[in-house]
Amino acid sequence: MERGEHDIDHLLKLSTDSSNIEGTLIWEPSESVSGISSLALQGYLAGRNVRDSAIDSDALETFSKAIHAEPLVAHELVVARGTPPIHGDSATYTIDPCIAAQIERISARADAIKAGNITRSMIEQTPDDGTDDPECGHTDDATEPSELPETDSDESGTSHYDQMGFVVVQRGDTIAHKSERSEGVDGCDIFGKTIPAHEGKLNEGFLDESIFVSPDGVCTALISGVLTATDTSISISNHLSIHGDVDFTTGRITFPGSVSVKGSVRDRFFVHALKDIEIDGLVEAADLQSDQSITLHRGMAGKDIGQTNAEQNLTAGYLESVIGTIKGNAAVNSEITNCTLIIRGELHADSAALRGGAVEVSKTARIGSIGSVQGVKTEVRIGTLPDVEKLIRNADELLKQIERKIEIETSKKERMDKAITKPTPQQIEELMGLQFEIDELQSRKNDLDTSRDILLNLLSIHTQAKLEITKAIYAKTVLYFPGYRCEFSNDLIGESVITIGSNSKPTLNYLGKSMPLSERARIIPDDRILKAEFIDPDLEVIEQIEPVSQDGQGPLDDMDDGSALPNAA
């Protein structure tokens, strides 16, 4: 150290942050400032291995002046700066604006319901109607649907019933947009040491297999279903699980997959699904539709307007005042009361009481009891397929008309033949025209005969007139079998089986003894259900019924429309 210079190391201190990105000089108060200059400060930093490119010369000059101006005051200033790393961005998924708007609306509505701004009592009057059913253990305490207003809606005019509380997307919909990750740029601290940058994450698990990501980052739904979007994942499921009731919280549900409901389905709401529907609680005056099967673990109290329609099977604890069409089999555990049901398969209700209403079954029906000791009028039709029967009746009517036309044209031709001794060319042409018309009518008749046989085979294959009773058939019960109406004026207590016997008449097997049903009931000929006899096991049966071609020309112009008949060509 030369004369006049002072050691300044004991007056200065270098402090850094945790990553050594910034270096701060600290001056301890001292009366002597001899040797303090920006150059000396730079030398101090160099002695502590601070790289030259990180030192801020202007800051050193400012720091030196501040010390000279107030040497007895402590000073500190950032005088060296490194280069911070630029960390890579992770892959991100931004919800499509259309989907985001739906999520926002649903969230806002859920908040309004939670806050009490939308309640059932605000929209419906719900006095107790006083109807209890202790046998089934259910209570109907809601207002009759016919009394409920249908006009209540939000400010947009959309009914509160129709505002579904889920985002349902269809296959091919745009769900989100992906931004790719970046690798990042390394930094350097004030001592020249590299600070590694973090690479962006791929976030490969953010989407599940239900969503496809194209090279341009567009995320598209591979399936139709309910969308779930959180901060950590986006997924689509073709099963909708509702943990509570179907009410204003959920809205009416139309879903392209299967639906399960832990709670109940309230009045005027509906559940429509392309796959199975399963409901644990009570279904009120609601509308259920499934392209597959429906399971009601408790049952349904439809109040004469509730509907359940299944393309396959129905399973229910009980059915009360329900309108339904089941294209497969129906199984009911405890009761079927005042229902209007069409069942295209079998009815399995071995322990159930069927009271009131009208039930139509295409195949075997196994029922505990029909009617009641109070004499409730109950109607059951067994072995019927009305759509096919209607086609057969149409065919019969058309056949009568064609046969009448053939008879008229044949008679006309015969009269001409008798009246002509030596026919002229014009008369020959007229006779040939009549014969052509007769042949054409006969061809159409043959087609209709074949179509009718096919329909009869179809009816025979898909119907079975058999009723099995485990407990009783009560008075005022009316049964319809193919060709007959059966009226019971007295109770028939005990096990019984009713079928159509070899004589084509209803036969009863009662308590193990066979007899004509006429011994226990009044039997009246009735064509409400058409009799069907199997025609030919080798005859091709057309499952998909197609219309007969009608070109509007020739002698069938004035006939009834036969467009519903199958094409037997």
Range of the domain at 293: 267-384
366, 384, 402: which is the final residue of a domain? Answer: 384
CA distance 186 to 304: 74
Question: Are residues 550 and 422 part of one domain?
Answer: yes
Q: Does any domain span residue 54?
A: yes
Q: Does any domain span residue 392?
A: yes
CA distance 295 to 291: 13
Q: Does any domain span residue 491?
A: no
CA distance 34 to 343: 108
Q: Which residue do the tokens 């031709």 mark?
A: 413
CA distance 367 to 495: 10
SS3 of 95-108: the string is ECHHHHHHHHHHHH
Q: pTM for the whole thing?
A: 0.74
CA distance 259 to 103: 20
Question: Are residues 409 and 376 part of one domain?
Answer: no
- Going by C-alpha positions, the residue among 86, 103, 41, 136 that lies closest to residue 227 is 103
Question: Are residues 308 and 431 part of one domain?
Answer: no
Q: Best-predicted range by mean pLDDT among 98-112, 152-166, 258-272? A: 258-272
Q: Give me the sign of the Cα torsion angle 425, 431, 432, 437.
A: positive
Distance from CA of residue 34 to its chain's centroid? 87
Express as a percent the part of the chain with pLDDT over 70.
85
Question: Are residues 354 and 418 part of one domain?
Answer: no
pLDDT of residue 476: 95
Grouping H, G, I as helix, E, B as strand and the rest as coil, residue 408 is helix
pLDDT of residue 132: 39
Question: Are residues 328 and 454 part of one domain?
Answer: no
Express as a percent the part of the chain with pLDDT over 90.
64
Tens digits of residue pLDDT in 57-71? 999 999 999 989 998
What's the rounded mean pLDDT across residues 316-339?
97
Question: What percent of the residues of the chain are helix, what percent strand, and what percent coil, each to the nearest 5?
Answer: 25, 35, 40
Which H or E run contains 45?
Answer: helix 38-47
Question: Are residues 421 and 283 part of one domain?
Answer: no
pLDDT band per the 50, 70, 90 thresholds, residue 183? confident
pLDDT of residue 538: 57
Q: Does any domain span residue 254?
A: no
Tens digits of residue pLDDT in 531-554? 876 555 555 554 444 433 333 333
CA distance 569 to 565: 12
65, 82, 99: which is the final residue of a domain? Answer: 82
What's the rounded mean pLDDT across residues 284-310?
97
Q: Does any domain span residue 344?
A: yes
What's the rounded mean pLDDT across residues 439-445?
95
82, 104, 126: which is the final residue of a domain? Answer: 82
Residue 283 burial class via C-beta count within 10 angstroms: exposed 0-12, middle 13-18, buried 19 and up:
buried
Are 343 and 294 in contact, with CB atoms under 8 Å apart? no
Q: Based on the structure, what is the number of domains in the chain?
A: 3
Question: Are residues 438 and 376 part of one domain?
Answer: no
* Alpha-carbon distances, residue 217 vs 137, 170, 177, 199, 220 (angstroms): 55, 19, 5, 19, 9
pLDDT of residue 336: 98
What's the rounded mean pLDDT across residues 359-379?
96
Question: Are residues 372 and 338 part of one domain?
Answer: yes
Q: What is the DSSP string of 422-480?
A: S--HHHHHHHHHHHHHHHHHHHHHHHHHHHHHHHHHHHHHT---EEEEEEEE-TTEEEE
Question: Are residues 398 and 370 part of one domain?
Answer: no
Question: Are residues 417 and 280 part of one domain?
Answer: no
pLDDT of residue 198: 85
Q: Does any domain span residue 171?
A: no
CA distance 358 to 314: 17
CA distance 420 to 423: 6
Indicate the residue type of 100.
A
Q: Does any domain span residue 278?
A: yes
Q: Which residues pair with 468 in a beta bridge?
A: 366, 497
Distance from CA of residue 60 to its chain's centroid? 73
* Alpha-carbon distances, residue 74 vs 35, 69, 488, 511 (angstroms): 17, 11, 113, 114
pLDDT of residue 120: 63
Determine if residue 565 is left, alpha or beta; phi over 0 gives left, psi from -120 to 50 gives alpha, anything else beta: beta
Question: Are residues 437 and 332 part of one domain?
Answer: no
Backbone angles phi, psi at 283, to 5 degrees: -100, 125
* Alpha-carbon distances, residue 139 vs 126, 128, 266, 499, 503 (angstroms): 13, 10, 13, 38, 48
Question: Across the chain, how many H-helices and E-strands are there?
Answer: 6, 38
Q: Does any domain span residue 126?
A: no
Question: Are residues 363 and 311 part of one domain?
Answer: yes
CA distance 140 to 507: 41
Q: What is the rounded radius of gyration, in angstroms, for the C-alpha atoms of the chain? A: 43
